[in-house]
Chain A
């Protein structure tokens, strides 16, 4: 079973920030948090990852709480093309098994 929990679905207005939460209360010290997204009919696509510091790249920002039990993926200016299922995954750098949960279905509205 997936070790993370996410809301089933969210809506966001185009141009606004999309904030996608994830709970990973069982995460251990050496486990990273990875975010992937899957646009309809395509393979999942890596977005960002983090261990304990906040991270930012050209796609998104990742905010991890100090206790590391939850995180938030932020898409700063959502576009229609960001409509997808977003997965939050715990993963150890020593293993390569991703356990995908059900993810959050984000719909960006025009």
Chain B
């Protein structure tokens, strides 16, 4: 398996522009997570989905942020309008729901998208 795929790997945009980050989870995984990492705040969970349904979006910083998962193999994180303080590395991760007898939910992270908003 190719692992979690994220695109683009790097994005530079100007303040006010719309930014869309993309993620393809590992095939068959039930959960998908979006994280943001900055020097100041570390690694923060923004939102996560189970079977394409958003379960917890309490980490989404503002209404400017939105996330969708139209099908099991694709998710987007959109920022509109973008601001310089949104500059960060955004990670997508996926995991498999523990099957009978299983105990843990190892999350597999993608390589991240480094976003710079000028």
A interface residue numbers (CB < 8 A to B): 32, 34, 38, 41-46, 49, 51, 87, 91, 93, 96-103
Contact = CB atoms under 8 A, between A and B. Distances in A.
Given A43-B91, A44-B93, A97-B48, 8 more contacts: A38-B43, A42-B112, A44-B43, A49-B106, A51-B103, A96-B48, A96-B95, A97-B56
A22 to B, nearest CB: 16
B42 interface: yes
A99 B46 CA distance: 11
Interface in B40-67: 42-45, 48, 50, 55-56
Contacts of B31: 96
Contacts of A46: 106-108
Contacts of A32: 103-104
Contacts of A38: 43
Contacts of A49: 104, 106
A96 B43 contact: no
B98 interface: yes
Contact of B42 (A42, A93, A100): A100
A43 B93 contact: yes
Interface residues of B, number: 25
B20 interface: no
A91 B93 contact: no
A43 B111 contact: yes
B109 A96 contact: no
A42 B103 contact: no
Contact of A34 (B33, B104, B111): B104
Scoring B31, B93, B110 by chain A CB atoms within 10 A of each residue's CB, the highest score goes to B93
A43 B104 contact: no
A36 to B, nearest CB: 8
A103 to B, nearest CB: 8
Contact of A100 (B43, B50, B95): B43
Contacts of B42: 100-103
A43 B48 contact: no
Contacts of B111: 42-43
A30 B107 CA distance: 18
